Structure 1
Amino acid sequence: MEVDQLMKHTAISLFCGAGGCSLGFKQAGYSILYANDKDAAAVETYRRNFPESLCSNEDIDNVDFGQVLSEIVMKPGELDILIGGPPCQGFSTAGSRFWDDPRNNLLKQYVKALTILKPKWFIMENVEGLLTSNKGKYVYEAAKAFIELGYWIIIEKIYSQEYGVPQRRKRVLIIGNRLGHEFRMPAPQFQVSGQLFRNSDITISHAINSLPPATKDKGTLLIPLTSPPQDDFDSFIRGNATQISDHYYPIINGIQLKRITALKPGQTMKDLPEELQHKSFKKRANRRVADGMPTEKRGGAPSGLKRLIGNEPSLTITGAATRELIHPVENRPLTIREAARIQTFPDDFVFCGNASHKIQQIGNAIPPILARVFAEHIRDDYGFEGDQDNEGRMLGFLLTKAGAMSPALKNTE
């Protein structure tokens, strides 16, 4: 371990993916001592961008956390924070049988990591479906386990655009500490309003407008950045980069080009004339979800293509972004680099693997800017000192900030 790492606050990242959360913490001055993910392409990306960190490519079931402590020369309770979170796999059982259900194994391994590492803090991030999975039983069992380990926890749905991400991305955070701090989420840094919080000071235009024209040539590896940064956000994302990669899109023709050309800003597949709607869309759109048909037989996502609106935050970036999300004014989908910028990855961040691997890594990531806000909030407003022999407790639980609640949330027990 290098001397300068010993001077920093320390973190371990599980389910690290490409490293969005790690990057935010690194930008806030933390040292990421160890990371793990079972996805080989994501680990290749992580190692490329975090050469100073240990990163293992193995199933978390096989990780010996006692050995990890030995490798990073730490004792239980010395690590400042554990970041990342197990993917939500769908859950059916609760109570005493919950932990025996193989679908809950990733959470079980996460709890094992907390038990052995005993970090002072942890941040667990997940999709908003975490709150409603099995009518809330999953989040209940998770919270119960964390409290039994002595953590003071808060569970809250957060809206990324309130923290400087040009994207309408809702996520659930469970944050806990063993130090007796009555933690509260950081105050929003940007004013958002309107239906689905669509009005924001940070928009798609801030993220992508200054980029050079995208190319149709996948073989064009690097494109120079010739224009100056257009604003502070653009300057931050650009950093010291003088060129960008992955800024290309596939050749589009035939009916797909007709569909894209017909879409106005904010419109989706359902707004197109029926003759332009994809057959998979019509198959699913005309079938009620409640009929019990398995999702894989429904014919794909109900909305398909979606034209973004330039002066609003983007729709959520997912692994399908470069197929489904259409540029606000150009008749093409987003490029990998545009999706990365909307997720607040800097221009010099390199993604490894094929195109499918890259967009999946981007879509699965925690936006680095969002992670940085929370890293700085914990560091500056709470710190890493305190009595670690506390009884666990629930500090707060907020399902939604929206004016109305979805039927699924209403059914949460």
Structure 2
Amino acid sequence: MNSQKTKPRVISTFSGCGGSSCGYKQAGYDVKLAVEMDNHAVETYHANFPDTPIYHGDIHNLSVDKVFEITGIDVGELELFDGSPPCQGFSISGNREFCDPKNQLYNEYIRLLRGLKPKTFVMENVSGMVKGDMKLIFKDILTQLKDSGYDVRAKLMNAMYYDCATSRQRMIFIGVRKDLGIPASHPKPQTRPKTVKECLKGFKSKYPYLKPTTKWVLNNLDKVKPGENFGKIHPKGSYFNNIKINENKPCPTITFQGYGKMIMGNRIMNSDEAALLQSFPPNYKWIGKPSAQWKRIGNSVPPNLMKAIALHIKENILNKI
């Protein structure tokens, strides 16, 4: 592949608000199709990538032939197939139900992978899938991906080592089609962790700075040290998801349920601040109320993390084909 003449093509499934697509585009890829079911996520995605076709619907109903029809790509031609199957069922911050239907959506990703036969793929998920009973699902995913005809490597990667001001650890599967004869690999850490203060220096939120709405949290703001959660001082250990940010360190993982629970000084963190910490560009367009925007950010792949992965694949794999 001549990288100077042709942009590598990527299809992004479970694309959300476009975190992965943002990273791919910054790395010089051409996003041929996004697949997403959530209405608000699709609206946000379209606002930022109006020229990218979106399959707005249930991935169960998306056939391989339909993908070929939309993209004009034939079997084996696609450079990269991307996907972040919903991860709440694996997450250590959730209920971690083994039989959660969300835990099975990776099968739809694999179904499309086997039909498209792309040169490479990237699958992203939470680190919790290698803990406890969830290890069984992790092993099944790895086995199925390898059985699909790919050399596959899985590695935990933390976004804070890839020019992102949040500590967000994710399991990243990278695969290369075996007939290409190139081993799969991951990018090495590239940057030192960036602090909240460094990332937000000079930034003025367009939203009002609000105090926590929970009375107990508001009354105990001065009793919690930066970097600690409020569950540490609560008699019953409640409010452990309410965190006082240490601005001299990277931000803790931004979760989709975290709006109003991440405290900076004596106020809550705003959604546009969370977007910057997650490495979205300052001009990224966000739709709806701040609480709805936060959910999109909390469910997203940090663009700079995916940019680093995409550049690594382009330089170390695709350019050698």
Within the candidate set 283, 294, 312, 2:249 is matched to 312
The one-letter amino acid paired with 2:140 is: E
Matching of residue 205 in structure 1 with residue 197 in structure 2: yes
- The 5 Å alignment of 1:2-401 reads 7-88=6-87, 89=89, 92=98, 104-132=103-131, 134-178=133-177, 179-191=180-192, 200=193, 202-212=194-204, 214=205, 223=206, 247-252=207-212, 255-272=216-233, 277=234, 282-283=235-236, 285=237, 303-327=240-264, 330-383=265-318, 386=321
Larger C-alpha radius of gyration, 1 or 2? 1
CA deviations 1:65-113 (Å, max 9, x no partner) are 21111221110111110112212335648xxxxxxx9555411111111
Q: Give the TM-score taking structure 1 as reference length.
A: 0.70
Q: How far apart, CA to CA, are the structure 1 residues paired with 2:254 and 2:121? A: 25
CA deviations 1:174-213 (Å, max 9, x no partner) are 110102212322121124xxxxxxxx3x11112112112x
User: In the alignment, which residue of structure 2 is the partner of 1:196?
Assistant: none
CA deviations 1:108-130 (Å, max 9, x no partner) are 11111101111111110001111
Q: Cα offset for 1:18?
A: 0.5
Q: Is the 8 A contact 1:248 1:336 kept in 2?
A: no
Q: How far apart, CA to CA, are the structure 1 residues paired with 2:269 and 2:101? A: 37
User: In the alignment, which residue of structure 2 is the partner of 1:295?
Assistant: none
Q: Is the 8 A contact 2:130 2:138 kept in 1?
A: yes
- Residues 92 and 264 of structure 1: CA distance in aligned 2, closer, same or farther (over 3 Å): closer
Q: How far apart, CA to CA, are the structure 2 residues paired with 1:257 and 1:158? A: 35
CA deviations 1:122-151 (Å, max 9, x no partner) are 110001111125251111111111111110
- Residues 183 and 41 of structure 1: CA distance in aligned 2, closer, same or farther (over 3 Å): same
Q: How far apart, CA to CA, are the structure 2 residues paired with 1:51 and 1:374? A: 24
Helix, strand or coil at the partner of 2:220:
helix
Q: How far apart, CA to CA, are the structure 1 residues paired with 2:272 and 2:144? A: 39
User: What 5-or-longer segments of structure 2 have no aligned partner?
Assistant: 91-96
Helix, strand or coil at the partner of 1:321:
coil
Runs ≥4 residues deviating over 4 A: 90-93, 101-104, 251-255
Q: Is the 8 A contact 1:181 1:382 kept in 2?
A: yes
Q: CA RMSD in A?
A: 2.1
Helix, strand or coil at the partner of 2:175:
strand
Q: Is the 8 A contact 1:153 1:177 kept in 2?
A: yes
- Residues 308 and 34 of structure 1: CA distance in aligned 2, closer, same or farther (over 3 Å): same
Q: Cα offset for 1:161?
A: 1.2
Q: Is the 8 A contact 1:130 1:138 kept in 2?
A: yes
Q: Is the 8 A contact 1:265 1:307 kept in 2?
A: yes
Q: How far apart, CA to CA, are the structure 1 residues paired with 2:98 and 2:258? A: 30
CA deviations 1:14-36 (Å, max 9, x no partner) are 00000101100000110111001
Q: Is the 8 A contact 2:121 2:174 kept in 1?
A: yes
User: In the alignment, which residue of structure 2 is the partner of 1:390?
Assistant: none
CA deviations 1:284-336 (Å, max 9, x no partner) are x3xxxxxxxxxxxxxxx651321111111111111233321111xx3101000
User: What 5-or-longer segments of structure 1 have no aligned partner?
Assistant: 1-5, 94-100, 192-199, 215-222, 224-246, 286-300, 387-413
- Percent of matched pairs sharing the same residue: 31
Helix, strand or coil at the partner of 1:126:
strand
